[in-house]
Amino acid sequence: MRKHKAADGRDEKSPVFRINAEIPRPSPNMIAKFSQIPAANISDAAGNINTMDSGMQALVPGARICGPACTVSTRVGDFLAILQGLDAAKPGDVLVVGSQGSPDVAVFGEITSTEAKLKGLAGLVTEGRVRDIEGIRKIGFPVFARGTSPRVAGRGSLGEVNVPTQCGGVVVEPGDIIVGDADGVVVVPRQKAAEILRLARNIMRFEDALVNKVRAGLSQVEFFKLDQQFKALYRAHRKGHGKLD
């Protein structure tokens, strides 16, 4: 049985609080491919599943992230485990923080963002809030969060690193691929990455072709034959209410 490090550093078979430094990660090639695809197309490819809620927004203009998730599960309003996660994260990782809520306190700031950028992290996704946002924007570290607050979180509660966590209404596993842009954040389960990539590329090609047709003057009603669909729905509606054509 594989042993884990408990919060006090001892090896335990089943510790309550775990800090897992080593996790499975997708290949750099897979990350590079997803980095070229908009979050919206990935959300479409995944059937709108594993898309974080709309409260998770880029707080740094133009921010885009793509990388494997280094996850943190922490008590609401505390960032001790977040600092442990920052220490455990590898270059290219996205630090994903599930805090079981979103109180009006900041769990990340300019100093932690500076450390994260120097380590080569791809970005931060937290369902909490951050502070020192002007400083974070100045150093250009990509942050996705629910907003800002000057009130700092505490450092007095245990948490876990690189365990399944929930962030933005989505369960995130360590090593899942996180993609974020101006539209929001999506999670690509690591074991489904190849299929979602294939579907997302097909969607991109379809949309490129559709945009060209719209620019040429074709309406979407014409392209999708929506008049026929509307008439069929109307007939079904009338029939369902006892009115036959």
100 and 32: one domain?
yes
Our measurement of the distance from residue 118's CA atom to the centroid of its chain's CA atoms, rounded to an integer in Å, reads: 21
184 and 217: one domain?
no
Percent of residues, the chain, with pLDDT higher than 90 = 64
Tokens of 82: 């977040």
11-65 pLDDT tens trace? 555 566 777 778 899 999 999 999 999 999 999 999 999 999 999 999 999 999 9
153 and 221: one domain?
no
36 lies in some domain: yes
131 and 68: one domain?
yes
Residue range 210-238: average pLDDT?
A: 87
Which residues share a beta bridge with 51?
186
Which residues share a beta bridge with 148?
130
Give the chain's largest Cα–Cα span. 76
221 lies in some domain: yes
Residue 146's CB is within 10 A of a number of other CB atoms, namely 18
The enclosing domain of 148 has a CATH number of 3.50.30.40
Q: Domain total for the chain?
A: 2
151 lies in some domain: yes
* 137 vs 173: CA distance, rounded Å: 28
150 lies in some domain: yes
227 and 115: one domain?
no
Q: Between 117 and 157, name the one with better pLDDT.
A: 117
pTM: 0.86
* 235 vs 154: CA distance, rounded Å: 61
Give the domain range for residue 220: 201-240
Residue 80 pLDDT:
85
pLDDT at 152 over 60: yes
136 and 161: one domain?
yes
35 and 150: one domain?
yes
105 and 205: one domain?
no
217 and 180: one domain?
no
Residue 2 pLDDT:
42
Helical H runs in the chain? Answer: 28-34, 39-45, 80-88, 110-119, 133-139, 193-215, 220-223, 226-240
Please list, in sequence order, all residues whose beta carbon lies within 8 angstroms of the beta carbon of residue 38, skipping any fewer than 6 positions away. 181, 183, 204
Residue 1 pLDDT:
33
16 and 45: one domain?
yes
Residue 4 pLDDT:
57
